[in-house]
Structure 1
């Protein structure tokens, strides 16, 4: 059983073939490519033509290797979308969520619908990058593309449309929009009406682990992949990543660690309390009828931007060197709040961190080691703060945390998390999103009975690594002195 996972991030994408045999899953990455946003005029776009070209190349390379694919499925980052007209033409390149077009739009929206009502309906954390504010910005600017548009398709829906010709909105990605009713799991007519947004743009909701359709004939001919099914999975990458975690019970949490950090728990129903809203928790759709009750946190974005700056300056910045320098730096010297707006898209991340520390009367990090230690310790302290509120809002007692995604390779950060939270940190699913994607395809293809069987396969396939708490008193004492920066 071979399935192709098209796992697309806000920076890079991969085409990964997954084979399920003898109760195990193995992966073969057949294509990797960059997916940077492109500034044109005053707008930051995604280059959808390049993205789709790389998707076809990934399919072609998988077919060229002789793999007999039984399915293809797409997962991507959330909130962004493309608009198509009545003839099925893409009206423009999708705009990147980091574009400035939504600045101040949430305040305009609050005149028509309060933030409290918006949360009570959707359960989604109020962020100006959300689709609802992107869509409202088009209306506010009287952008003609909105009157021409016939359908709104989120990034994975848009890709699935051009792969199959079938129009649909997948549930987990739709839930990131802040336009979906968290309880009915249908588009909220209340929100659309109050903001005077066109209901005609929204399509029927489909759910993970279902068949969308066959690959278009012209793409099959171009790639050499004939007669292949395209399946719906948790097309929000976080949903597929969490679906891969082989855990039971209610005493565990997840941390999807990458550019963004998503810290939370799985629940059967959304948590729509005022306490949850005030603490910026979000209720996003998960696989297997679950809700991902979690907090979006700016994660390794700060470190990634620092490394980008050092690379451009031709300075030494490989991870081995940076982590060695980090270990030499003084602990808890400077702490920043990664969610502060100054870190969203600064001209220089190094300068932004130093200016933040100066404003908050902390020692200014100078060396690379001090800057890296500042970022990693700050994230661990942030996770501590969010975990505290997470347990308050859910009434759960969390005993251990699964870290998945690219950040799960960061051993230094994982140890900091174990120390700060005083709980075991379990890693091993670096490619959690692709694994979750592939397992869901096998379920849709009726080769695996359900997610429980999928988890047994995952347990058999990947070795877990556990980080145990150390130096907890030092972290507890340090957090007591600095946690006011997060409150």
Structure 2
């Protein structure tokens, strides 16, 4: 089978991307794109999961109209959010969005039952208020107990398309419920939540053959004959697979989208007291790897400034306008919880600057510049920290995802890290999804061959450090109390 389709859904949009190997080069074609986002209902935030299913079907219909008769199909989405199913396989309620504030007090409540240190030793997962363990803890206890199955979002989408229930490992690891030693759900943590192991499906590795589309669905909508292959369903796991890194080189990745995920690919987890204190995570990757990384609030900051400003300027215009502003004039701690989902992002940024005794960015251009400068300085500080924690030198930083298009941010990152930055490909998440399918189909022998092909198929822009910013980094560290 030489046609492969990636369903790649993020927090703000989704798309279906067709990939194939032509003349030894990977060629991509976007066949369908759609909006995504959470909505407020009864003071809670929910995803419209049925909309996502409808759009997947619409994309497959578009593929069929374009002449695709058969293909493999893989799905990736964001992490941590879940659906509760009853014994008939029906959802018990809408799917909560991770930015819902119901979990604000959950970490402190869970810590009364199990210490943060013990939790990290078991799972190696960083503490974030929206991790699944805290979402489930905050969930209505009676409804939680009634659930026959708990599926994360991409697993639920696979289930609706195929009728098969799985828990794919790269996403399941973000629940903060998997034990690094047993490589299964931790019984003590399930007990803390009042849950049972049988409420979770079998852990499933990327590359697993899942079967075909539900026949009723395929016939009702006249869809291609699809072979479902389990992708690395956590979008960051897929994005890391799509990094065009050379085997044996010393590199780190920055998956730059709504979130910025800065890390390295390892064969063993690193869950020490030092890594816990620094709040680094050990998410499971494909093919026996771990993603040792730092979560940093990413382009969400500028996305919200743009959205709340009525979309007056395009992202490209915001970057251009920011480039004309005074650099490092105002800085913020991108990971401060106040920026998780404020009613007015620009005003929240101004308030932070005022409270920390800085010049307050007034115009939208100055706010954008503040965001880009702060993100780059975050990357510089955390990359140094990453190198110190692993004890391994990092020579090159690969930026993949939407942020790879932001030339200003890429150059600022090269300056802040003091390292070469290789930006691209933008479509790394869809590529990683497709690569797993193609390895399964025998197109590539392994991930190393697939990455070499990515490097030969897509343009990568290189940025070298051009300015010394050590003094600015020190000021940023004081501001964020590093």
Question: Which position in structure 1 is the counterpart of 2:109?
Answer: 108
Offset at 1:322?
2.4
What displacement does 1:451 show?
1.1
Could you tell me whether the CA contact under 8 Å between 1:125 and 1:280 is conserved in 2?
Answer: yes
Question: Helix, strand or coil for the counterpart of 1:478?
Answer: helix
> Which aligned pairs between 1:330-349 and structure 2 lie closer than 5 A?
330-349=326-345
Structure-2 separation of matches of 1:75 and 1:300: 19
Q: Deviations over 1:162-217 (max 9, x none)?
A: 11101110000101110011233211112112343333311110101110111100
Structure 2 counterpart SS, 1:402: strand
Residue in structure 1 matched with residue 136 of structure 2 by the alignment: 135
SS at match of 1:347: coil
Aligned to 1:162: 160
Partner in structure 2 of residue 425 of structure 1: 421
1:311 alignment partner, SS class: coil
In structure 2, what is the equivalent of residue 253 of structure 1?
A: 252
SS of equivalent to 1:256? strand
Q: What corresponds to 1:366 in structure 2?
A: 362
Verify the 8 A CA contact 1:215 1:230 in the aligned structure 2. Answer: yes
- The match for 2:73 is 72
Q: Secondary structure at the match of 1:228?
A: strand
TM-score, length basis structure 1? 0.96
Asked whether the 8 Å contact 1:175–1:182 carries over to 2, the reply is no
- The worse-fitting range, judged by mean Cα deviation, of 83-92 and 444-453 is 444-453
Aligned to 2:267: 268
1:211-222 equivalence runs, <5 A:
211-222=209-220
The equivalent of 2:397 in structure 1 is 401
Measured in 2, the distance between the counterparts of 1:156 and 1:319 equals 28
- Contact preservation (8 Å) 2:255, 2:261: yes
Please, which moves more after superposition, 243-252 or 58-67? 243-252
Q: Give the equivalent residue in structure 2 for 1:289.
A: 288
CA contact (8 A) 2:145 2:194 kept: no
Distance of 2:417 and 2:327 partners within structure 1: 17
1:413 aligns with 2:402: no
Deviations 1:58-91 (A, max 9, x none): 1111111002332111000000010111111122
Deviates more, 1:12-21 or 1:317-326: 317-326
Counterpart of 1:200 (choices 195, 198, 207) is 198
Q: Aligned residue for 1:298?
A: 297
Residue 285 of structure 1 deviates from its aligned partner by 1.0
Which 5+ residue runs of structure 2 have no aligned equivalent? none
User: Which runs of no fewer than 5 residues in structure 1 stay unpaired?
Assistant: none
Q: Structure 1 residue runs of 4+, over 3 Å off?
A: none
Paired residues of 2:381 and 2:417 also in contact (CA < 8 A): no
CA distance in 2, matches of 1:158, 1:250: 37
Which residue, out of 481, 484, 487, partners 2:475?
A: 481
- 2:82 is the counterpart of 1:84: no
Q: What TM-score, normalized by structure 2, do the two folds share?
A: 0.97
Partner of 1:175: 173
For the 8 Å contact 2:256–2:403, the answer to whether it is kept is yes
Tell me, yes or no, if the aligned pair for 2:6 and 2:17 is still in contact at 8 Å: yes
CA RMSD of aligned residues (A): 1.3
> What is the CA-CA distance between 1:150 and the residue it aligns to?
0.3
Instruction: Name the SS of the counterpart of 2:331 in structure 1.
Output: coil
